[in-house]
Structure 1
């Protein structure tokens, strides 16, 4: 099963013509631009690569609109693509992670989140900063970074949205009338239980209620079950940060293939 990922949204979020997940960005922008309606303000929630790209795209596509980036950080964090850190995605690192106790697993994820989560390419960070600086000098600031902030309320008003943004250090709140709110809030794996249906009862689970997965990506099942269920992705809790990367898909597929052949030969002998 290649269970894939699904958009993650803040609790209570309802998508609409004006409230999007960034996975909808390109077709939604094309649809909005096609109506010819003026876009005066767009808000993007999030501080990762997709959020920064959404900010950049909206800023370029709607040259008369103010684009506001809302995030809890002070500023965008550069992605750690240094060669030593990137070795966390090597097949050998998967072995290290898989065989580590839970505390070490968590430490590895915490230490190296910057390789994959809530980070932005440095070139894009510098490009956005240059755009802000240029606009400030020119006296027309369309690109705004609402840092150390969170969205506290979203209310539809006629054909627009009233978005309440709180500045966390002081609690001060500002209501921004906006045409678009984009949630660049990432993705999470599809629930294995939902995909398997009744068969999910056969899966063994760990102390955190996550499915138990062997090193060869085969789900651990209740005694007596002879069928094999393999996961392609969705195994970050057991196999580490490389679980969601397309660049390691071929490695995982090869490991699953080898496991299948090995088991088939064992059964035949």
Structure 2
């Protein structure tokens, strides 16, 4: 008989699939709500946040207040400041005067929170979810994994509502996929950088592909590990420059709830056109990291000569292949010049970012009940709910799967607590976490009546006021 984490007469109020920072935020805020029953399931054995990129000295690109709970509940015992207090590190942090925490410290903080929440079930892989119309509940079938990742037991959870936070997965460009999957070619994604760091440091020539923060951090780490004059590094980028991340005060207001509401209210085609043009908001490089790269390169010119490091923006990899048993050959094209070149290298690190994990497999049994936009993507309402057939009385919320509907802030840690509060307020039908009416000085859009769109939810989702008319 399959085990059930909620009895037939006591279904969960909310079941979560995946335990990354966003569902961990939701679990932490939900833990303080009496009478709300929740459970979260994660296939990994424990919480880990980008372990392959916890390079020494690297920091978050958001301030420490963007922890799991503070921007929704500063009094929560699961805040980063309380973590420091419990660890007796509050005064050292105070005197350090740090706005941005180390990545390794953020990972440790999240693991500290996860260790205090009883409703988290690690080593549980949710296989699929269904809607039981007769009972008015979602059913989530899961496999409990043993220490080696094998199936130990099967189970089923019943819940009134679901929240899917399965996160993202490393993106490997099509020309490089065969090499990345080959055991003989040294082509690794930056997500696994630390696992391969020693071997990469020993390679004669290494190419880093990708001009975002991860690419800069990997390039800098490799540069610092190699002797002057024999660096053997090449850094390629598709973007027209190794550009800084947009970090101006008003620019950052595009990571506010106000902007997310404005973006959600735009027509779908306008949203799709806007997102790629905002690349410096989330694909740029922290100015401090750019300065550190330049400083390290400059230091290597003090004795005369130039470092053996080539930085080339504006290029794409057309094709790639193996050269001999271990070397890699990259066929490059420069977009502006229209020129082509071949680059031979011993190893490649793909700092090519992440893509949202597709929900189709997990939600396949619900396919007839899902509503999609013209591009075939799930329609998601303003409160982060998948738009379902009106006959479904339960709700499915998504976390970090709605960039196409909510904009660049969807994967940003700074909006985690706010989104969790929106979801919990909706689940409870109350307002346990009061939300601010206004979050930006910028007024996004003109104060005009919101137009109906074909992709608007059509079954009773209240429409938010236009951000231009929100009262302070």
Category of TM-score, reference length = shorter chain: 0.7 to 0.9
Residue 87 in structure 1 maps to residue 222 in structure 2: no
Q: 1:241 to 1:32 in 2, by over 3 A?
A: closer
- Is contact 2:231–2:307 with CA below 8 Å preserved after alignment? no
Q: 1:74 to 1:213 in 2, by over 3 A?
A: closer
- Is contact 1:154–1:164 with CA below 8 Å preserved after alignment? yes
Matches within 5 A, 1:197-212: 197-212=364-379
Residue 158 in structure 1 maps to residue 325 in structure 2: yes
Q: CA deviation at 1:252?
A: 0.9
Question: Quick one: distance in 1 between partners of 2:406 and 2:334?
Answer: 38
TM-score, normalization by structure 2: 0.51
Return 5+ residue gaps in structure 2 as ranges: 1-163, 431-472
- Is contact 1:131–1:143 with CA below 8 Å preserved after alignment? no
Residue 242 in structure 1 maps to residue 405 in structure 2: no
Question: Quick one: distance in 2 between partners of 1:215 and 1:180?
Answer: 44
- Is contact 1:41–1:179 with CA below 8 Å preserved after alignment? yes
Higher relative contact order structure (alpha carbons within 8 Å, sequence separation ≥ 6): 1
Question: Quick one: distance in 1 between partners of 2:200 and 2:239?
Answer: 30
Q: CA deviation at 1:23?
A: 0.5
- Is contact 2:200–2:347 with CA below 8 Å preserved after alignment? no
Q: CA deviation at 1:197?
A: 2.3
Q: 1:110 to 1:184 in 2, by over 3 A?
A: closer
Larger Rg: 2
Q: CA deviation at 1:46?
A: 1.1
Residue 228 in structure 1 maps to residue 392 in structure 2: no
- Equivalent position of 1:51 in the other structure: 215
Q: Describe the SS at the equivalent of 1:242.
A: coil
- Is contact 1:235–1:243 with CA below 8 Å preserved after alignment? yes
Residue 131 in structure 1 maps to residue 299 in structure 2: no
Cα deviations by residue, 1:83-120 (Å, 9 ceiling, x for unpaired): 11111111122222222233553465355432212x11
- Is contact 1:70–1:151 with CA below 8 Å preserved after alignment? no
Residue 115 in structure 1 maps to residue 285 in structure 2: no
CA-atom RMSD in angstroms: 2.3
Q: Describe the SS at the equivalent of 2:363.
A: helix
Question: Quick one: distance in 1 between partners of 2:331 and 2:370?
Answer: 43
Most deviating of 201-210 and 153-162: 153-162
Most deviating of 167-176 and 71-80: 167-176
Q: 1:20 to 1:111 in 2, by over 3 A?
A: closer
Most deviating of 181-190 and 93-102: 93-102
- Equivalent position of 1:267 in the other structure: none
Q: CA deviation at 1:191?
A: 0.8
Return 5+ residue gaps in structure 1 as ranges: 264-269
Residue 66 in structure 1 maps to residue 232 in structure 2: yes
User: Paired residue for 1:179, among 334, 338, 346?
Assistant: 346
- Equivalent position of 1:29 in the other structure: 197
**Larger proportion of helix:** 1
Q: CA deviation at 1:81?
A: 0.7
Q: 1:140 to 1:104 in 2, by over 3 A?
A: closer
Residue 4 in structure 1 maps to residue 172 in structure 2: no
- Equivalent position of 1:19 in the other structure: 187
Residue 102 in structure 1 maps to residue 294 in structure 2: no
Question: Quick one: distance in 2 between partners of 1:81 and 1:49?
Answer: 13
